[in-house]
């Protein structure tokens, strides 16, 4: 698919990942990109979604919009996270079928994988167990969209793409201490401690669990490459294959930010899934994608953006 020849709607296009997707679409020569705003279109409402398709008349929908957050936000909002993410996918995919959309791209989540999935996570393991409990409602809602896309492909011939990006990070991320994911939260914790002259900071959990992280520009390129090439909603991981414990991550971010105080751990708080690391061979074989930004380089860019721009916007 030559994306520059099509009218493309990017839900969540004003967000962290969406803004990079839109930049990369423009770099590909796309000048017909539409970004629905929540104030105009409530994607959890079927009537609003129908009106969106009537107003915007897309050929392609890249669905990034989600209600999402870290462990704390997932624990506080399990019902809302399930409903909102399930409803958005349900209405958007059904309306795509009705209008004969050329392609629907669903960005899922690795929270859909089983809690004790063998590492590295392979796409064929997606159904071999229940997700980690703190984010299961969110992960299952996103996984249900895969089932819907597959069913619509088999019954109606609808072209769909389903991608499973690992935890994203980078400039313009959400740095709210309660709602953010781990990297922006840790960067802000370190910066706050440095500015306050604190001699220690406390982190959630034990630090023993591991995670994998993907720089936002790499994720955006993988999503667009899949949009260009894929027709069938086969689940495809997007990641780096590089795994790091939270303890080592905290120490690395402390080093890069210049925080030299003591790092304390609150083991009464949950760790989340024990390990996360993806097998990305499928993305390479199906559409020739591999991540290119090294982890320390990505962290430096993110810290620099926060210091130069982000912290002033949040203050």
Dig out the tokens for 70 from the structure. 């870290």
**HEC per residue, 226-259:** HHHHCCCCCEEEECCCCCEEHHHHHHHHHHHHCC
Q: Active site residue: 138, 152, 162, 215, which one? A: 138
CB 65 within 8 A of CB 43: yes
Whether 138 is catalytic: yes
Count other C-beta atoms under 10 Å from residue 156's C-beta: 11
Interatomic CA distance for residues 34 and 133, integer angstroms: 36
Interatomic CA distance for residues 38 and 244, integer angstroms: 36
Interatomic CA distance for residues 142 and 148, integer angstroms: 10
* Residue 131 CA, distance from chain mean position: 17
Scan for tokens 């590909």, then name that residue.
28
Question: 209: which residues sit within 8 A by CB, 6+ positions away?
Answer: 245, 246, 271, 272, 273, 274, 275
CA end-to-end distance (rounded Å), the chain: 43
Active site residues: 138
């Amino acid at each position: 698919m030559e994306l520059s020849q099509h009218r493309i709607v990017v839900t969540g296009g004003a967000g962290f990942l969406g803004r990079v997707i839109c930049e990369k679409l423009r770099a590909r020569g796309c000048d017909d990109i539409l970004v629905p705003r929540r104030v105009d279109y409530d994607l959890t409402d079927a009537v609003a979604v129908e009106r969106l398709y009537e107003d915007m008349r897309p050929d392609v929908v890249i669905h990034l919009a989600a209600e999402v957050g870290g462990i704390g936000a997932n624990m506080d909002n399990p019902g809302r996270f399930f409903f909102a993410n399930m409803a958005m996918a349900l209405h958007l995919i059904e309306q795509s079928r009705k209008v004969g959309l050329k392609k629907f791209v669903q960005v899922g989540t690795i929270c859909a994988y089983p809690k004790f999935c063998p590492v590295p996570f392979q796409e064929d393991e997606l159904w071999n167990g229940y997700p980690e409990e703190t984010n299961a409602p969110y992960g299952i809602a996103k996984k249900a969209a895969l089932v819907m896309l597959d069913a619509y492909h088999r019954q109606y011939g609808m072209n769909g793409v389903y991608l499973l990006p690992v935890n994203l990070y980078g400039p313009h991320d959400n740095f709210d201490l309660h709602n953010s994911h781990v990297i922006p939260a840790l960067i802000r914790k370190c910066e706050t401690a440095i500015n306050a002259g604190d001699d220690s900071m406390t982190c959630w959990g034990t630090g023993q669990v591991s995670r994998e992280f993907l720089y936002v520009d790499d994720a955006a390129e993988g999503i667009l490459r899949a949009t260009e090439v894929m027709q069938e909603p086969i689940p495809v991981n997007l990641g780096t294959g590089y795994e790091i414990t939270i303890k080592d991550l905290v120490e690395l971010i402390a080093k890069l930010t210049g925080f030299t105080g003591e790092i304390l751990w609150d083991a009464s708080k949950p760790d989340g899934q024990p390990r996360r690391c993806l097998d990305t061979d499928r993305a390479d074989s199906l559409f020739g994608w591999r991540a290119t930004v090294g982890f320390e380089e990505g962290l430096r860019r993110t810290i620099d953006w926060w210091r130069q721009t982000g912290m002033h916007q949040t203050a």
